[in-house]
Each structure stands twice: as C-alpha cells, then as structure tokens.
Amino acid sequence: MEEIYKIPMEEETLLSLSDYLEILNRRKWSLMIPTISISIVAAILSLILPAVYKSTATILIEEQQIPSEYVKATVTSYAEQRIHQIKQRIMSTSRLLEIINQFDLYKKLRVNHTTHDIVTQMRSNIKLDPISAEGMDRRLGRTVEATIAFSLSFQSQDSPQKVQQVAEKLTDLFLEGNRQERSKQTEEASRFLEDELNKVKFSLDSQEARIARFKEQHINTLPELLQVNIQSLNNIERNIEMQQEQLRNLKKQEGYFQSQLINVPPDLEEQQEDKKRLDELKVLLINLKSRFTDEYPDVINTQAEITKLEKQLAKQKSINPAVKDAAENPAYITLAAQLSGIQADIKSTHQQIVIMMQKAEKYRKQIEKTPRVEETYKTLTIKRNNTRTKYDDLMQKLLEAQVSQGLEAEQKGERFTIIDPPLFPEKPFKPNRLLIVMIGIVLGIGAGVCCAALREFSDNSVHSAEILTMTTKFPVLATIPLIITPQELIRKPQ
C-alpha cells in the first residue's frame, strides 16, 4: 500500500466494499486483540465460577374441606399473609443459624465472614414465589386474583445433596409453621372467647344476685305485683265498706235493745222484796251489834236470816251468771244477752275495720312505691338482659371456635400440601458456562469493532490517490511507492 502525507479530509465520501476490506486489513490487530482477550477472559471466568445448585418445592394451598356454611373457621388471616408471617419466622437469625449448623453450610464463608454476613447470604439464597390464579371471592362476590400455591427454593454452592436436604427442611418448616399458626389462632380464639365468657358470666351472676336481693327487699312493691296490690286494695276497700255498713246496722240494733232494756226491770217483784228485806236485816244487824254481843239471840237470829236470804239470792243468780247485777227477770235477761252479743259484734267489727284499714294503707304505700321501684328494677333488668344476650352470643361463638379448633386438629381446614417435593439437583443451576463464553465472544467482537472504528475515525491520513484528488480538487501527478527498509521489517506491522 502506498503511504501519502496526512491531509485533513473536508468532505465525507462513500466507502465501497473494497474500502471496508482495506480498513479491516489495516485494523485487523485492533479488532482481533480485544476479541480474543475478552473471549479468553469469559472462558476462564466460566471455568472458575463455582457451581450453584438449586432445589425447588411446590406447595399447594388447599381450601377447607368442610363447607364454611357448616363450620366457620376462626382463622381470619389470608394465606398470603400467613406465608409472609411464616417466612419471617423461618428467616430469623436464630432459625437460619440452626439450619446452617445442622447441615454444615457455607464452610468457605465462615473463614473470612461474620455470622451476620452468612445469615444474610442464606436469606438471599431462599426464594419464595407465589403462584396466582383468578377465582371468585365469596366474601366480596367478585373475581379476584388469589394465591393458590407457591414455590419454595434454596440455592447454594454446597453439594447437591445438602441443597436438597435444606430445601426439604425449609418445606417442612413451612408446612409445620402453617399448621402451628392456624392451631395457635384457633386456640387463642377459643381461649379469648372462654375468658370473655367467664367474665360475662361473673357479671351476669352478680347482676342476678343483685336483682334477687332487690326483689327480696321490695318483694311487695315489684312492678309485676302492681295489679295484685291494686286488686287487693280494691277488695279491702269493699270489705271495709261492708264492715262499716254492718257496723252501722249493729249500732242501730244496739240502740234499739238499749231503749228496750230501759223499760224492762231486771228483777221480779218477790226478788225485789227479798233484796229489800236483806237490806233491812243488814241495817238491823249493825244496830244490834252496836248494842249487844254476837251471842245475843236477836243477833244470832238476824244473822241466820241474812245468811238464808243471801243463799237464796245466790242460787237465783247462779241460774244466769252472765246477767249484770244478777237480774232475775227473763225478759230483761234476754234483752241484756242480745245487747251483749251485739256489742261484742260491734267491737269485733270495729277491730276488723281497723285491721283492714291498716292493710289498705299498707297496700297504698306499696302502690305509691311501685313506680320508683319499677324504674330501678327496669334498669337492673335491662342490664341483666343485655348481659344475658352477650353471654348467649359468646357461648355460641365459643362453640363455633371449639368446632373450628377440632377442624384444625384433624387437618380438615385450609392447609399446605406438597405437590412437587424438592428434587435432587442433577446439574448446577448456575453459572451457564456456555452462555458466559458466548457472551464473552459477542462482547469481544463488539469491543474489537469499537476499537478498530475508533482508531480508523481518529486517523486523518490519506491512504490513496483518489481520496487525495477528491479531497484537494487537484489531480495527482505522481505517487511514490512504499519502500520497506530492513528496520521496518522487524517492526510490528501497523
């Protein structure tokens, strides 16, 4: 090739295929050196990168086997929420360190790295990817995208067997974590409802005891006894009116018999004479004793006659002992007996009226107190009824929670099921050595092309007479051929 002096190019020219071949020939080392270097580096990198193995398990989220219309589950969290909660527990430092020590993982990292770095590395090696599908949400009544399964994988530079074992361990932890989480939620729900039920029962018993004491204190003024008290008061008032009417009639009869009794003498005529004679003899005996001794005959005879008359009058009085003043007149005795019976009836009737009036006053006071008692009693009853309703509601919920707890104990609720267990990784998950080599070759070619193009576009030399003529607008009269000296032969060709 002929070498021409460097002259700045003022105009762009179109290059032909021969021009490109000439440029390629001229810049072949600028193209080949980057391409070969980068390809070799990529090949070496693909060989020295450690193999990373990956084992993956697919876990299905099964719905509750028994319809929720029959048994309502007390687990309120969604499957996605529980998955993240379980993941956070498994990803804890203590749990990951336990797994690392159990399977003797990351031997090389333990030499120069801290425990925190190793745990962080393991966290990055555990991948959890949800698998979603569209379905009908019964609670919302619309189509939503729900998680029906998820994949759990573990990747590491350790042996394939260890990678599989760790993946199985993580899968078991997820399954057990879900079971424990659901059991814990059902147990906590049952325990909470039972505690609340005991509190409400204690409050209900206290209110029942308070109402019982209130009833005992106001047994006769309770609202339910108001009608009974009113009816009893009305009956007593009617009885009082009847007794008062009877008392008036009895008093009329008393007045009648008293008027009749005035006109009837209490004794007969002969009885009156005996009494008169007895009185005279008593006067005579006193006069005689004032003058004579007791042995005087007249004194003895007078005293004997007095004794005889007294016995006779006493005998007559014993025939009707109830008659006042020992009346002997039969008519007088009859009227007096009737009057005495009527007076006894009047006294009894009056006592009954007083007793009934006292009872009536008692019932009036009870009726007056009933509105105030009713207000307090109604407040206590409403509070008791509300507590009873709350108690019944909690009892129903507790029974449902206990049934749900049994559902979880028998694994009949929502659960995680392995559909694809962790498999033994037969080949490394990464690196993809062939892909690294191919990328290295592509990057090497690109780098070589860029290097060659850069050198070509930054070179302002003229390499042919035609380009010089087109650039200067002057014809080329002569060209000097390229003369290669021995010193140039040993130089590296450009």
Tokens representing 38 are 């980068």
Least confident segment among 144-153, 156-165, 269-278 = 269-278
Cβ contact 177:86 at 8 Å:
yes
- How far is 323 from 317, CA to CA, in rounded Å? 8
**What band does 77 get if pLDDT is binned at 50, 70 and 90?**
low
pLDDT, greater one: 449 or 14: 449
φ/ψ of 337, rounded to 5, equals -65, -45
| 386 pLDDT higher than 90 | yes
DSSP state of 309: H
What is the number of other CB atoms lying within 10 angstroms of the CB of residue 10?
A: 9
Over residues 123-136, the mean pLDDT reads: 83
In percent, how much of the chain has pLDDT > 70?
78
| 3 pLDDT higher than 50 | no
**What band does 56 get if pLDDT is binned at 50, 70 and 90?**
very high
- Gyration radius from the chain CA atoms: 66
By the 10 Å C-beta count (0-12 exposed, 13-18 middle, 19+ buried), 201 is classed as middle
pLDDT for residue 326: 45
Sole residue written with tokens 């529980």: 82
pLDDT for residue 304: 83
| 95 pLDDT higher than 80 | yes
- How far is 391 from 389, CA to CA, in rounded Å? 5
| pTM of the model as a whole | 0.54
pLDDT for residue 6: 43
Least confident segment among 104-108, 260-264, 432-436, 446-450 = 260-264
Residue whose C-alpha is closest to residue 193's, from 403, 405, 397, 407? 397
Over residues 125-142, the mean pLDDT reads: 75
Alpha carbon dihedral 405, 407, 408, 409, in 10-degree steps, equals 80
- How far is 275 from 313, CA to CA, in rounded Å? 8
Residues 293-346: pLDDT tens digits?
A: 778 777 788 788 888 877 776 765 565 444 444 455 677 777 778 878 888 888
Q: Which residues pair with 326 in a beta bridge?
A: none
Least confident segment among 70-74, 157-161, 400-404 = 70-74
| 494 pLDDT higher than 90 | no
pLDDT for residue 166: 92
φ/ψ of 429, rounded to 5, equals -75, -35
DSSP state of 68: T
Residue whose C-alpha is closest to residue 163's, from 426, 391, 358? 426
Residues 199-210: pLDDT tens digits?
A: 999 999 999 999
Cis peptide before 481 (omega within 30 of 0): no
Residue whose C-alpha is closest to residue 411's, from 144, 129, 64? 64
Q: Which residues pair with 59 in a beta bridge?
A: 150, 418
pLDDT for residue 325: 47
pLDDT for residue 407: 66
Tokens representing 393 are 């509601």
Angle in degrees, 0-180, between the axes of helices 226-262 and 330-409, rounded to the nearest 10:
170
DSSP string of 16-61, one letter each residue: -HHHHHHHHHHTHHHHHHHHHHHHHHHHHHHHHSPPBEEEEEEEEE
pLDDT for residue 451: 85
Least confident segment among 1-5, 138-142, 272-276, 339-343 = 1-5
DSSP string of 314-382, one letter each residue: HHHHHHSTTSGGG---HHHHHHHHHHHHHHHHHHHHHHHHHHHHHHHHHHHHHHHHHHHHHHHHHHHHH
- How far is 234 from 72, CA to CA, in rounded Å? 59
Least confident segment among 44-48, 70-74, 450-454 = 70-74
| 124 pLDDT higher than 80 | yes
The overall average pLDDT reported for the chain is: 79
**What band does 136 get if pLDDT is binned at 50, 70 and 90?**
low
Least confident segment among 1-10, 117-126, 181-190, 349-358 = 1-10
